[in-house]
């Protein structure tokens, strides 16, 4: 599956803007005390077979070195089918409810990805930036999913190797460029198998959801309160389907549709980024400094296409050892589509590129890939591919299949379609067979679940939120008519009030409620 699938919900680290995502638990509250609880006894029926020792472990909390936060390590079976076959260590962090008011329980947060660090998100944003009334009554908690960040991270390439990978032409024009792209994906997959072969078969979303249930029990909560954004909605929906009786107050913001196959997901997301670009272009042409003209959105798209073509033929300098290639420039534009507050930055970066300075678009691309100033990379992209390639069969298994799909993808997006079609080839040579398949998620018997969709969301198109809310037996759709990826905490008082009310007293918004 395309590595761009639901890549980022946490735009905070990408572009300096906050994309807040929140989820929780339903009625009944928590069995914990007013302070964060340690391990609690879990009744036998609540413990899956063969996992008693894991559910009975005691988390040893310690100071994280970040004011107000504690950290612990949770052990989980590497392979749930063989729980005696070895452990995996998962990083957990929490911040105690601040009060006043009676503590509701723990609120687990996940920023998406797959590959986003939930612990980093908690400590950098959610634990200090969520609404005060929510933090007052919940212990804010996060666990880095298996394979991510501090939890047995998947590693695939060195920094220099990753630099070369990100520069490979993703819009091949001839047989040699097709071969080069295919080779790059194969080398990426081989690197993951070589460096992370032990964990690679065990980073699926189902396994991560089972880890969350174990954490729920160890925190002393009868039900899971959870806020998931972007890919985090797929993780939350998977949890609800596995453990419907343990669902508390769940918010799924920027929802994914588990019923779609990899081709459909990638093609829908291609259309989503086209919708976002059209919104950006319509805004850009109203500004005198728009580097893509002041005529129309269609003219702006044509001009951007010409810039991409020029960079394909002649990359430009960046003030770095790397030049700005077409692939890096495309990624830079994509990064700015996640949040409309990045549009002015994108206008400046495109204008500079037109004048021969690629540093602005390169900076946006680097933020998307989580490239550090040292030249090393966070494991976001490695974990992203590892989870995606395990969760579903690949979109395409050959360059011939990708070639045939290009016209459909270009129809979905004249701006990004060709690049997205070829990007969907990335799981073709994966070393581990997928364990998941597309399926509807119903979570029969679960308490009310709030699904949030943004009408011009690039990464998780609005139609996905409608579909997921319809699949869930207790799903309620909350619509944000606006731009950007996800909705909670992004400036809509209507959205924030509806979600805060649900998290605090369990009352979901009215069905088909719309906000702007």
Supply the residues annotated as catalytic. Answer: 230, 457, 485
Which residue spans within 392-508 are E strands per DSSP?
Answer: 449-456, 475-483
CA dihedral 181, 187, 189, 191 (to 10 degrees): -150
Distance in angstroms (rounded) separating the CA atoms of residues 219 and 216: 5
Of the candidates 165, 400, 383, 401, the residue with the CA atom closest to the CA atom of residue 263: 401
**Which contacts qualify for 284-287: CB closer than 8 Å, 24 or more apart?**
284/343, 284/347, 287/347
CA-to-CA separations, 135 to 33, 49, 158, 302, 476, in angstroms, rounded: 16, 35, 39, 47, 24
CB atoms within 10 A of CB 272: 25
Nearest residue to 304 (alpha-carbon basis) of 272, 275, 278 = 278
Helices and strands counted in the chain (H then E)? 19, 11
d(CA 441, CA 453): 17
Residue 36 has phi, psi (to 5 degrees) of -55, 130
Nearest to 229 by CA among 337, 383, 118: 118
**How far apart, in Å, are the Cα atoms of 8 and each of 117, 216, 331?**
11, 25, 13
Output the six-digit token pair for 43.
């009744």
> Which of 133, 117, 169 has the alpha carbon at shortest distance from 10?
117
| DSSP secondary structure letter of residue 169 | -
User: Token pair of 89, please?
Assistant: 């260590």
Question: Using CA atoms, how far apart are residues 178 and 182, in angstroms rounded to an integer?
Answer: 6
Find where tokens 């419907």 sit: 244
CA distance 22 to 52: 30
Q: Round to whole Å and give the CA distance between 69 and 127.
A: 8
On the 0-12 / 13-18 / 19+ scale of CB atoms within 10 A, 274 is: buried
- What tokens were used for 403? 């070639």
Q: Which of 241, 201, 238, 213 is nearest to 74 (CA)?
A: 213
String of b and e for 355-377 (b: at least 16 CB within 10 Å)? eebbbbbbbbbbbbbbbeeeeeb
Residue 17 CA to residue 1 CA, distance in Å, equals 27
């Amino acid at each position: 599956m395309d590595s761009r699938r639901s890549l980022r919900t946490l735009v905070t680290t990408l572009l300096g803007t906050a994309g807040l995502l929140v989820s929780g638990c339903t009625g009944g509250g928590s069995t914990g005390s007013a302070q964060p609880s340690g391990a609690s006894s879990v009744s036998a029926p609540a413990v899956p077979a063969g996992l008693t020792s894991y559910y009975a472990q005691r988390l040893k909390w310690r100071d994280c070195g970040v004011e107000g936060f504690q950290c612990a390590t949770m052990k989980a079976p590497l392979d749930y089918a063989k729980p005696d076959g070895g452990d995996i260590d998962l990083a957990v962090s929490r911040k105690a409810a601040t009060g006043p008011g009676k503590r509701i329980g723990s609120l687990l947060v996940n920023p998406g990805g797959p590959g986003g660090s939930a612990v980093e998100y908690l400590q950098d944003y959610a634990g200090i930036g969520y609404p005060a009334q929510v933090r007052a009554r919940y212990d804010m908690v996060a666990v880095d999913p298996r394979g991510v960040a501090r939890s047995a991270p998947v590693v695939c390439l060195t920094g220099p190797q990753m630099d070369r990978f990100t520069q490979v032409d993703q819009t091949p024009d001839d047989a040699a460029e097709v071969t080069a792209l295919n080779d790059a994906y194969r080398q990426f997959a081989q690197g993951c198998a070589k460096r992370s072969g032990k964990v690679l078969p065990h980073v699926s979303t189902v396994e991560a959801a089972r880890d969350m249930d174990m954490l729920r029990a160890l925190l002393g909560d009868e039900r899971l309160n959870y806020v998931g954004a972007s890919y985090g909605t797929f993780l939350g929906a998977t949890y609800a389907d596995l453990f419907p009786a343990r669902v508390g107050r769940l918010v799924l913001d920027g929802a994914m549709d588990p019923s779609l196959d990899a081709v459909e997901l990638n093609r829908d997301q291609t259309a989503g980024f086209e919708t976002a670009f059209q919104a950006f272009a319509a805004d850009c042409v109203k500004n005198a400094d728009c580097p893509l003209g002041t005529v129309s959105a269609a003219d702006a798209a044509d001009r951007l296409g010409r810039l991409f073509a020029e960079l394909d033929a002649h990359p430009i300098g960046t003030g770095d050892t790397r030049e700005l290639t077409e692939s890096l420039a495309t990624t830079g534009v994509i990064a700015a589509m996640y949040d409309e507050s990045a549009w002015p930055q994108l206008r400046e970066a495109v204008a500079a590129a037109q004048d021969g300075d690629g540093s602005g678009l390169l900076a946006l691309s680097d933020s998307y890939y989580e490239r550090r100033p040292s030249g090393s990379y966070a494991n976001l992209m490695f974990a992203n591919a590892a989870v995606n390639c395990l969760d579903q069969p690949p979109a395409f298994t050959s360059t011939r299949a990708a070639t045939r799909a290009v016209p459909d993808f270009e129809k979905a997006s004249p701006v990004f379609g060709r690049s997205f079609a070829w990007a969907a080839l990335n799981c073709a040579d994966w070393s581990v067979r997928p364990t998941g398949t597309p399926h509807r998620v119903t979570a029969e018997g679960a308490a009310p679940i709030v699904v949030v969709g943004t009408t011009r969301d690039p990464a998780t198109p609005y139609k996905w939120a409608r579909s997921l809310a319809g699949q869930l037996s207790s799903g309620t759709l909350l619509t944000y008519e606006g731009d950007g990826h996800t909705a909670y905490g992004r400036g809509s008082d209507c959205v924030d009030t509806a979600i805060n009310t649900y998290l605090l007293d369990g009352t979901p918004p009215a069905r088909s409620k719309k906000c702007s």
